[in-house]
Chain A
Amino acid sequence: MREASVIAPRSLREALRAVGRKGVVAVAGGTDLLVRLHDVAAGERPSFLVLDGVRTLHSIAPRGKGLALGPLVTFSEIERSSLLRTLAPQLVEAASVAGSVQIRNRATLGGNIANGSPAGDLLPPLYVLSARLELSYSGGRRQVMIEDFFKGPGETVLRRNELITRVVFERSQNRGFFLRLAVRRALAISKVSVAANVSLRNGRVQSVRIALGAVAPTVLRASRTEEYLLGRELDRDSIETACGLASGEAAPIDDIRSEADYRREMVGVLLGRGLLRIASAR
């Protein structure tokens, strides 16, 4: 990687000026990008826009009833943030099971989003937290809901001249979880993951969001399942039905990590376990 050049801005403005340039690729933590570029010859590598120096992109701050996170917040910072632990436990759970210590110390929220992998562990939590992404470009910015951000595996609506500059989401409802299955206990990409954000009132589901990871080209909201659960009590029957519905909503494939049938079934298993946890915590 010796020959590639580097732009290391100290301010967002500088960064935004550089981001649109031809052959420039923004680097946050680099834990995915540099893996992808591993086999790319030095001469063919892009110029790196190294964002580390832009202070404002590292912040974790309350905003309104929710939170605003800079895209350079690392998995480790999420894992350790007491604020997030209360306000977005799904996100904390997801951040703490991903990769390894070394990866979590470098991997960032923004990177996980921009990477656009359906198996990205932070994404299902962000879906259920109704995250909104602030995308900035030189001279302006726009907001995109997370669900609208992804077009397919590795494909997003982020334009070449834009950077994710903030991730804003509401605080979690009173119940939430993130569960996943992976090929080994650590340092593994999810085979299937489920996140949920549920609020209960008088034992009934007042609001619910469920997102499924690694079972479709993008992270998936299990909307029919959500619809079914809304207003219901969480009991064995309703959970059983919800699990079945959620499995049906998944559209997984066979790959080297797992099999479609298994994944589909596991969506239900994980959702069931999470919902049972919520139900029994009442």
Chain B
Amino acid sequence: MKLKFTVNRRATTLEVTGAERVIDLLRERLGLVGTKEGCGKGECGACTVLLDGSPVCSCLLLSSQVAGREITTIEGLSEGESLHPVQAAFAETGAVQCGFCTPGLVLSSAALLADIPAPSREQMKRALAGNLCRCTGYQKIFEAVELASRNMRREKRRRR
């Protein structure tokens, strides 16, 4: 079947069977290897992508389920040299250690901040619980979300 969908704001058409996992489509067909596979069972969240803005596990998603929909991967979160505020904050606060879980965590955090601009720690924990990280102990990740939140709100105020 011909799959038409949007990947990182770009209309994309691919010939697919429909039964491929979206993660394979992204990694193998589109070369978007920022999306990682850590368990293949939706438990670790390393494969998180945004489907119409909401975090989902791309390892539990069939290509036919994304027809007509919009996917954002880590590569699509920012353009060129620029960084999304969440990306910048992760780098700044030391929220990155081995980095394998980072793309998923960044996307989940970005989705959280789009939904709740100034989340509490509890809200963060709820929103990020689907992304396992074995290195950081999550503390610096919380700090990163807080920093990104502050920066995004400041930027919004400045624009107004």
CB distance from B92 to the nearest CB of A (A): 24
Smallest CB–CB gap between A246 and chain B, Å? 29
Q: Which of B38-64 contact A (CB under 8 A)?
A: 40-43, 45, 48, 51, 54-57, 59-62, 64
Asked whether, in the complex, the Cβ of B19 is within 8 Å of the Cβ of A102, the reply is no
CB distance from B18 to the nearest CB of A (A): 3
Known: A6-B62, A52-B65. A34 touches B17 (CB 8 A): no
**Residue A5 at the B interface, CB < 8 A?**
yes
A105 and B19 contact, CB distance less than 8 A: no
Nearest chain B CB to A197 CB, angstrom units = 26
In the bound assembly, the distance between CA atoms of A1 and B28 in angstroms comes to: 13
Tell whether, in the assembled complex, residue B129 and residue A38 are in contact, meaning their CB atoms are under 8 Å apart: no
Q: Is the CB of A31 within 8 A of B42?
A: yes
Interface size on A, residues (CB 8 A): 31
User: Could you tell me the distance between the alpha carbons of A53 and B3 in the complex, rounded to whole angstroms?
Assistant: 13
Contacts A6-B19, A48-B62, A100-B129 given: A76-B42 contact, CB under 8 Å? no
* A11-45 Cβ-contact flags toward B at 8 Å (1 or 0): 00000000000000001011100110010000001
On whether the beta carbons of A186 and B130 are closer than 8 Å, the reply is: yes
Residue B114, interface by CB 8 Å? no
- Chain A residues in 8 Å Cβ range of B56: 102, 105-106
Cα separation A36 to B110 with both chains bound (whole Å): 30
Q: Mark A163-174, 1 if CB is under 8 A from B, else 0.
A: 000000000000
Q: Which residues of A contact B134 (CB under 8 A)?
A: none
Mark B residues whose CB is within 8 Å of A: 1, 17-21, 24, 40-43, 45, 48, 51, 54-57, 59-62, 64-65, 67, 108, 111, 125-127, 129-132
Q: List 5 A-B contacts (CB under 8 A).
A: A29-B60, A31-B60, A102-B55, A106-B57, A185-B125
Instruction: Tell whether A4 is near chain B: CB-to-CB under 8 Å.
Output: yes
Using a CB–CB cutoff of 8 Å, the interface residues on chain A facing chain B are 1-6, 8, 27, 29-31, 34-35, 38, 45, 47-48, 50, 52-53, 76, 99-103, 105-106, 185-187
Candidates B59, B108, B132; contact of A101 at CB < 8 Å: B108
| A30 and B55 contact, CB distance less than 8 A | no
**Which residue of B17, B20, B41, B54 is within 8 Å of A105 (Cβ)?**
B54
Chain B residues within an 8 Å CB radius of A4: 17, 19
| Secondary structure type dominating chain A contacts | loop
Q: A45 vs B19: C-alpha distance in the bound complex, in angstroms?
A: 10
Q: Once the chains bind, are B17 and A50 in contact (CB under 8 Å)?
A: no
Considering the chains assembled together, what is the distance between the CA atoms of A52 and B69 in angstroms? 11
> In whole angstroms, what is the CA distance A29 to B61 when docked?
8
Contact assessment for B57 and A102 in the assembled complex, using a CB-CB cutoff below 8 Å: yes
Once the chains are docked, how many angstroms separate the CA of A35 from the CA of B40?
8
Central interface residue in B55, B62, B126, by most chain A CB within 10 Å:
B62
Question: What residue of chain B has the Cβ atom nearest to residue A96's Cβ?
Answer: B126
Which residues from B are CB-within-8-Å of A53? 67
Tell me if A3 and B17 are in contact (CB < 8 A): yes
Q: How far is the CB of B117 from chain A (nearest CB, A)?
A: 17
Chain B residues within an 8 Å CB radius of A101: 54-55, 108, 111, 126-127, 129-130
In the bound assembly, the distance between CA atoms of A52 and B66 in angstroms comes to: 9
CB of B19 within 8 A of CB of A103, answer no
A8 close to B64 (CB less than 8 A): yes
Interface centre among B45, B51, B65 (most CB of A within 10 A): B65
Task: Flag if B19 contacts A5 (CB, 8 Å).
Answer: yes
Q: For the complex, what is the distance from the CA of A1 to the CA of B17, rounded to whole Å? A: 9
